[in-house]
Amino acid sequence: MSHNLWTFICRVEDIPVLGSRRVAREQGLDVAVFRNDQNAVFALLDRCPHKGGPLSQGIVFGTSVACPLHNWTIGLCTGQAAAPDEGCTPKFAVKVEDGQVFLDASELATQATDLVRPIAGPLRRVLSPLPLGEG
């Protein structure tokens, strides 16, 4: 049995109905917390398994969110992409108590801290130059 270190994040009503908020972490990408129309709260890494889009910016419906970049549908309970797409986003444990939302501090500190956002803009040219001919 794991030991959870629940950290207060916000109140349920701080998250829009059928919407989400981003939770910044000391290390790693944000965690997206979602709220559906039944006031259930879900937490996933804010990163689509497809091309790294920020899921917190997507449209929430049922128990799914549509990625804002290419419209993949990601299940909020599992982080799993809906068929026929394949892929999974790390999920985070959530506790809701007296209208307060908690995430697990140890998960926030350690889970999926190595994943990064795709790089865009001029930085992209610097960091990933076109492969040069080797002959």
Partner 1 sequence: MDMRVNPKAKLKLVMVGNGMAGVRTLEELLKLAPDLYDITVFGAEPHPNYNRILLSPVLAGEQTLDEIVLNDWSWYTDNGVTLHAGCKVTEVDRVKRVVHGVGPAGEAVSAGYDRLIMATGSNPFMLPIPGKDLKGVLAYRDIADTQAMIEAATTYKHAVVIGGGLLGLEAANGLMKRGMSVSVVHVGPWLMERQLDEVSGKLLQGSLEERGMRFLMGAQTQELVGGEDGRVKSVKFKDGTEVTADLVVMAVGIRPNTALAESMRLHVNKGIVVSDTLQTVTDPRIYAVGECAAHRGIAYGLVAPLFEQGKVLATHLAEFGIGRYTGSLTSTKLKVTGIDLFSAGNFMGGDNTEEIVMSDPASGVYKKLVIQDDKLVGACLYGDTVDGSWYFKLLREGRKVSDIRDKLMFGESNIGDTGHQGHSKAAAMADTDEVCGCNGVTKGVICKAIKDKGLFTLEEVRKNTKASASCGSCTGLVEQILMFTAGGDYSATPKLKAMCGCTEHGHEAVREAIRTPLADGSRLLTTAQVFAHLGWKTPNGCASCRPATNYYLISTWPKEAKDDPQSRYINERSHANIQKDGTYSVIPRMWGGETTADELRRIADAVDKYNIPTVKVTGGQRIDLLGVKKEDLQAVWKDIGMPSGHAYAKALRTVKTCVGSEWCRMGTQDSTQMGKDLERAMWRMYAPHKVKFAVSGCPRNCAESGIKDVGIIGVDSGWEMYVGGNGGIKTEVAHFFAKLKTAEEVMEYTGAFMELYRTEGWYLERTVHYINRVGLDYVKKKILDDAEGRKALWERLQFALDGEPDPWFDFQEAAVDTRQFIPIQAVQATTEGSAA
Nearest to 30 by CA among 13, 49, 40, 43: 43
Closer to partner 1 by CB, 52 or 79: give it. 52
Rule CB under 8 A: is residue 60 a binding residue for partner 1?
A: yes
The yes or no reply on residue 112 touching partner 1 (CB under 8 A) is no
The only residue of 24, 78, 86, 87 in contact with partner 1, by rule CB under 8 A: 24
Residue 42 in tokens: 């879900």
The residues with which 101 forms a beta bridge, in sequence order, are 10, 96
Among 93, 96, 112, 115, which residue sits at the site for partner 1 (rule: CB under 8 A)? 93
β-bridge pairing 94-97 and 6-11: unpaired
Q: At 116, give phi and psi (nearest 5°).
A: -125, 165
| Site membership for partner 1, residue 123 (CB under 8 A) | yes
| DSSP code for 115 | -
Q: Which of 12, 40, 57, 90 binds partner 1 (CB under 8 A)?
A: 57
Alpha-carbon gap, residue 11 to 101, rounded angstroms? 6
Q: How far is the CB of 132 from partner 1 (least distance, A)?
A: 24
Give the H or E element holding residue 106: helix 105-110
Binding site for partner 1 (CB under 8 A): 1-10, 14, 16-19, 21-25, 30-31, 33, 37, 51-54, 57-62, 64, 66, 68-69, 71, 73, 84, 93, 102-103, 105, 108, 117-123
